[in-house]
C-alpha cells in the first residue's frame, strides 16, 4: 500500500510541475544572488549567484518548479558605485501559472525583470497539469502583474554621488526668475499682437 501512495505522490508532483525561466536586466554591471523560497515549507529552494552585464538581458532557463507552490523571491544586488549604493534588495512573490509574470515598474539599478513559466514536454494547461502526449496545443499565455519592494543600503563613502543625483532629480524651473518673467512677457506681447493668448502655469 505504501508503494502505491509513493507512486501516486510522484505522479502528482510530475503532473503539477513545470519550468521557470528568469530574465533580469540592469543599467549597471552587477554581481547578484537570487533565491527562491518555498513559502509553504519555508525552505530555500534555489540559490543562484549571477552576473549581470550593463544593459544586457540575463536569462537562466529551465528551473523545475511546482505549480502548486508560491515562491518568495529575493534578489540581492551587490554594490552599484555610480548610484552610491552598497546593496539593493528586491523582494516579492510569484505564483506559477503558464505565461509571464513581471512588475509593471521597477526601481534602479534593475531595469528589467520577468518570470516565465512553461510546461514540460507532453504537458499543457495553465498549471501544466493536463497530459497531452504528442497532441499538445498551445493555450494563450497569461500575463500576470506582480509587485516587488526594494530596499537600499547606502555606501557612506558615496554620499556626494547620492546628493548630486538628488539635486538633479529635484531640479525645477524657477517660476519667479526675472529672466523667465521677461521671456514670458515678451512672448505674451508677441502672441497678443497675433491675436492669441498665452497660458502661464
| Rounded-to-integer distance, Cα 28 and Cα 109, Å | 7
Shared-domain flag, residues 76 and 136: yes
Residue 167 lies in a domain: no
- For position 13, what pLDDT does the model report? 45
| Rounded-to-integer distance, Cα 184 and Cα 167, Å | 26
pLDDT tops 90 at residue 83: no
| Rounded-to-integer distance, Cα 111 and Cα 105, Å | 8
Residue 127, beta-bridge partner list? none
Among the listed ranges 35-39, 50-54, 97-101, 168-172, which one has the minimum average pLDDT value? 168-172
Shared-domain flag, residues 60 and 117: yes
pLDDT tens digits for range 112-133: 999 999 888 888 877 788 888 7
Shared-domain flag, residues 188 and 137: no
Tally of domains in the chain: 2
Supply the range of the domain harboring residue 178: 173-201
End-to-end CA distance of the chain: 79
Query: Mean pLDDT in the chain?
Result: 78
Residue 164 lies in a domain: no
C-alpha 114, offset from chain centre: 6
Shared-domain flag, residues 177 and 152: no
Shared-domain flag, residues 116 and 198: no
Shared-domain flag, residues 75 and 113: yes
Amino acid at each position: 500500500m505504501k508503494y502505491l501512495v509513493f507512486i501516486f505522490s510522484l505522479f502528482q508532483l510530475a503532473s503539477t510541475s513545470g519550468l521557470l525561466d528568469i530574465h533580469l536586466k540592469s543599467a549597471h554591471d552587477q554581481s547578484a544572488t537570487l533565491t527562491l523560497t518555498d513559502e509553504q515549507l519555508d525552505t530555500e529552494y534555489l540559490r543562484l549567484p549571477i552576473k549581470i552585464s550593463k544593459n544586457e538581458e540575463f536569462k537562466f532557463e529551465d528551473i523545475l518548479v511546482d505549480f502548486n507552490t508560491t515562491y518568495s523571491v529575493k534578489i540581492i544586488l551587490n554594490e552599484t558605485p555610480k548610484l552610491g549604493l552598497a546593496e539593493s534588495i528586491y523582494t516579492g512573490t510569484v505564483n506559477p501559472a503558464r505565461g509571464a509574470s513581471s512588475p509593471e515598474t521597477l526601481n534602479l539599478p534593475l531595469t528589467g525583470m520577468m518570470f516565465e513559466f512553461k510546461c514540460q514536454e507532453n504537458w499543457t494547461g495553465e498549471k501544466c497539469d493536463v497530459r497531452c502526449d504528442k497532441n499538445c496545443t498551445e493555450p494563450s499565455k497569461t500575463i500576470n502583474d506582480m509587485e516587488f519592494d526594494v530596499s537600499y543600503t547606502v555606501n557612506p563613502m558615496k554620499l556626494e554621488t547620492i546628493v548630486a543625483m538628488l539635486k538633479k532629480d529635484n531640479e525645477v524651473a524657477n517660476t519667479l526668475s526675472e529672466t523667465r518673467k521677461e521671456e514670458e512677457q515678451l512672448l505674451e506681447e508677441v502672441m497678443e499682437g497675433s491675436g492669441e493668448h498665452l497660458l502661464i502655469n
